[in-house]
Structure 1
Amino acid sequence: MNRTPELHDAIQDLSEALERRLVVLDRTMRVVAYSIHESPEDRLRLSRILAHSDSWDIPATAHRASAIQDVDGVGPVVMYRLLRADRHIVGYLMLTPMDGTDAATPVGGVAENQLGRISRLMEARDSSARALQARSSSLAVDLVSHDDERCQGAAAMLLSEEIFGVSEHYCAVAIGPGAVEATPTALARVEQAVAQTIRFVNDTSTASVIGGVSNEGNGVLIFPRPVVAPRLARILTRPQLAPSRAGIGPLAPLDGLRDSYRRAGWALRATSLAPADHPVAVHFSDTGSDGVLAALPLDGLAVQDLPAPVRHILQEKKTRLLAVTLEAFLDSAGDIQRTAQVLNVHRSTIYYRLERLTEVAGVDLRLGTVQRDLHVGLRLARLAGFLDQPDVSRS
């Protein structure tokens, strides 16, 4: 939906009056509007501007109205600053070269009143964008609310206001600080992570996404399509956003986003509690049993609540240190040779450790039901923080 038709029309009017091709850029040097580029040379020049403008240096217009800038692949262009009412720069108006000339060829210049009109329209555009962002943020949080009325109202408004296109399936993402007990700094980075993800999508595509931060401090992102986990992880691993992590819920209809977000929250909790076992951004479907175990009230779990064999192992200091051996043994489906390779020790060492663990736990490790209880119990112990986390190597 074109929310700034007046700006586009004003640029075209000015282009006709000056007989020049015009481009408007925002403060970050991103193109936001341009006049008709009719000739092949004009269209080629415009394609280069669209592809590279956000990598250009900021024009030297802090203390003057315009500056000539030589742009690789485009030629000399004239950059006019666009000022808000408070005299802060809101963007730039670019005069591109005419065929057979350059942008510095005298054309009488752009009148102050013409620049003023474009500036006011850019300021209105920014104001509208901020209002839309605030509105979208609120609606994103409402979409995953436990309040049915808020959910339904948010879904209706998103579609009626054309903030989102109609899609068969949507996806909810939960972003968190990457730790159970988050510091104020980590919580602040969650908000930055939501903002930067939205900006990445807006800067690199015409796709849509909305997001906000819930009262509990977790970020909410809503996509009208599947989410590519590695791409989201690349955003979250930026140094200024660490240690933020994300859980991605399953696809769902708009009125089912609450359930998608609930599972996204479980996935987020799983990757935060076991960062060595899950990537920075993980789909709920890829968390295995961890995604379900993470839904349990682990904060109130005590060693005494675990299955008896696991409890006995954790209550004795020496065998507690050997619990990692038992984990590796169970993860290797009881294969001694593979366990030894994983732990980089001799097979005889594994036999000795397992014998000692069997004595303490008081169970027969050959029994499937015993292996099941030990595996689940040790996994709960790790997620609850009773076992030291290994170095993160898969994030």
Structure 2
Amino acid sequence: MQGELQRIVDALAAHAGRPALIEDRRQRVVVYSEHTGVMDDVRKASILRRQTTPEVMAWFRDVGIMEAREPVRTPASAELDLLPRVCVPIRHQDLLLGFVWFIDPDGTMADTDLEATGLVSELSLALYRENLLGELASQRETEVARTLLADSAATRDRSVRALREAGLIAGDGPATALVAQLVTSGQPPDEVARLALEQALVTTRRWIGTREALHVVRDDHGVLLLCGGRFAGRPSPEAAAKLLDDNLRQATRGLSAVERTVVGIGQARAGLADAVGSYGEALRSARVGVRLPALGRVVSWSGLGIYRVLSRLDGQQPDISDVHPGLERLLREQSNPVLLETLERYLDLAGNAHATAEQLRLHRTTLYYRLQRIEELAETDLKDGNERLCLHLALKLGRLTGRYRPEG
């Protein structure tokens, strides 16, 4: 099949008198002719990475290539370092299958009737066959990978067997889930954002090894399942998460719909059939990271502390007043942010006044004055261990719910 597509793209390039590149409908590079002459950075990057960046995809879609049924002339973009192009949409019975691209820096390419050569019709059939075979294989893997996250243990066991029999995984063993969460401005991620998400997952998976990981794209997040445990040369979950974060930043750069991204790391499980537990932890970690940007771009379940408990409460979170009425009063008083931050640092440091004063760069007398004011306003006793526990829990709940948003 690849040989047939190469023959067609070479013939198209010869007919047009300039290099040609074919993409599928998701703007992934399928094949390209020999390239000589003028090339912009977008074309070079597409050939090297075999995929157009989401930023460029969004720009072309705004031009209207997805709806086109005739060749489209796309203008230059200095911001993207993009030269003018001629884009020929490839359709089979009106189903969009891909695009043929020609760089046309000086607008001299004639409106050649490519249909007359028979090459576009031939290309549409070839892409249709490749698309059908590729979609079937991709859908099968995706469906099996999705069932690894099902509630039924029997279903998950069958999925692992199916993956092994199909040779899609190198073997079973300790499995860890990573979740890539897109943070948008209240709207569900659009198609371009979801394509960027999948691009980051696929790029990371290729680096790890396509048979050592599986990926799934869900509504607003992606899942990367690392399978087979740790062996010499295989990256740790933390290293994989760092790379996934880097790839997400690269893939979503310039997309106005995506404000930022967060990667969550679950704890390892004995095998893929149990990875659903790791997935739940990774998803909660990512969602806590969305609410608490101070935790960073990569958030691990093992490092969440009390937020592990609070994140499991989902929509049943208690009111802060139920945890500690005095802290609720402090939160209502907008003039008390310094007292709240002092209290949190003091409790984070297990009531160590010396360490608290040092970290806050306060004289010990000032610290003691603030703690006394907190006791008065919250009607509490900081020498009481139970009171300190309730205050600490209420502060962390306030962070998670957005009631308490310190500047630091």
Please indicate the TM-score interval, normalised by the length of the shorter structure. Answer: 0.5 to 0.7
Deviation at 1:301, TM superposition (A): 1.4
| 2:398 matches 1:382 | yes
| 2:197 matches 1:197 | yes
Residues 25 and 268 of structure 1: CA distance in aligned 2, closer, same or farther (over 3 Å): closer
What TM-score, normalized by structure 1, do the two folds share?
0.65
- Aligned partners of 2:321 and 2:361: how far apart in 1? 32
Per-residue CA shift, 1:241-285, capped at 9, x if unaligned? 236644221344211211111221331343244x14312331212
Which amino acid in structure 2 is aligned with residue 25 of structure 1?
A: E
Which amino acid in structure 1 is aligned with residue 23 of structure 2?
A: L
Which amino acid in structure 1 is aligned with residue 380 of structure 2?
A: A
Radius of gyration: which is bigger? 1
Residues 251 and 138 of structure 1: CA distance in aligned 2, closer, same or farther (over 3 Å): same
Which amino acid in structure 2 is aligned with residue 381 of structure 1?
A: L
Deviation at 1:355, TM superposition (A): 1.8
Is the contact made by 1:66 and 1:79 (CA closer than 8 Å) also made in structure 2? yes
| 2:48 matches 1:51 | yes
Deviation at 1:16, TM superposition (A): 9.5
| 2:131 matches 1:126 | yes
Deviation at 1:79, TM superposition (A): 8.5
Partner in structure 2 of residue 70 of structure 1:
none
Residues 265 and 94 of structure 1: CA distance in aligned 2, closer, same or farther (over 3 Å): closer
Residues 190 and 47 of structure 1: CA distance in aligned 2, closer, same or farther (over 3 Å): closer
| 2:297 matches 1:313 | no
Partner in structure 2 of residue 74 of structure 1:
none
Partner in structure 2 of residue 261 of structure 1:
279
Mark the runs of 5 or more structure 1 residues left unpaired by the alignment: 1-5, 68-76, 96-103
Partner in structure 2 of residue 86 of structure 1:
94
Structure 2 counterparts to residues 20-59 of structure 1, below 5 A: 24-26=22-24, 30-33=28-31, 50-51=47-48, 54=52
Moved more, 356-365 or 142-151: 356-365
What TM-score, normalized by structure 2, do the two folds share?
0.63
Deviation at 1:144, TM superposition (A): 1.5
Partner in structure 2 of residue 279 of structure 1:
296
Deviation at 1:147, TM superposition (A): 1.4
Residues 231 and 287 of structure 1: CA distance in aligned 2, closer, same or farther (over 3 Å): farther
Residues 316 and 348 of structure 1: CA distance in aligned 2, closer, same or farther (over 3 Å): same
1:362 to 378, 381, 390: 381
- Aligned partners of 2:190 and 2:90: how far apart in 1? 33
Mark the runs of 5 or more structure 2 residues left unpaired by the alignment: 37-42, 74-84, 104-108, 227-234
Residues 191 and 63 of structure 1: CA distance in aligned 2, closer, same or farther (over 3 Å): closer
- Aligned partners of 1:276 and 1:198: how far apart in 2? 23
- Aligned partners of 1:15 and 1:236: how far apart in 2? 30
Deviation at 1:175, TM superposition (A): 5.2
Tell me the number of residue pairs that the alignment of Structure 1 and Structure 2 aligns: 356
Is the contact made by 1:266 and 1:292 (CA closer than 8 Å) also made in structure 2? no
Per-residue CA shift, 1:32-61, capped at 9, x if unaligned? 1368x8xxx9xxxx9987227848998xx9
1:352 to 356, 364, 369: 369
Per-residue CA shift, 1:325-374, capped at 9, x if unaligned? 21112224545465456556654332112123345213426xxx458625
Deviation at 1:138, TM superposition (A): 4.0
- Aligned partners of 1:269 and 1:127: how far apart in 2? 36
Aligned-residue identity in percent: 19
| 2:236 matches 1:231 | no
Per-residue CA shift, 1:170-221, capped at 9, x if unaligned? 432345576xxxx9x73612987654221234468745442132xxx66351
SS in 1 for 2:295: coil
Residues 285 and 195 of structure 1: CA distance in aligned 2, closer, same or farther (over 3 Å): farther
Partner in structure 2 of residue 328 of structure 1:
345
Is the contact made by 1:82 and 1:90 (CA closer than 8 Å) also made in structure 2? yes
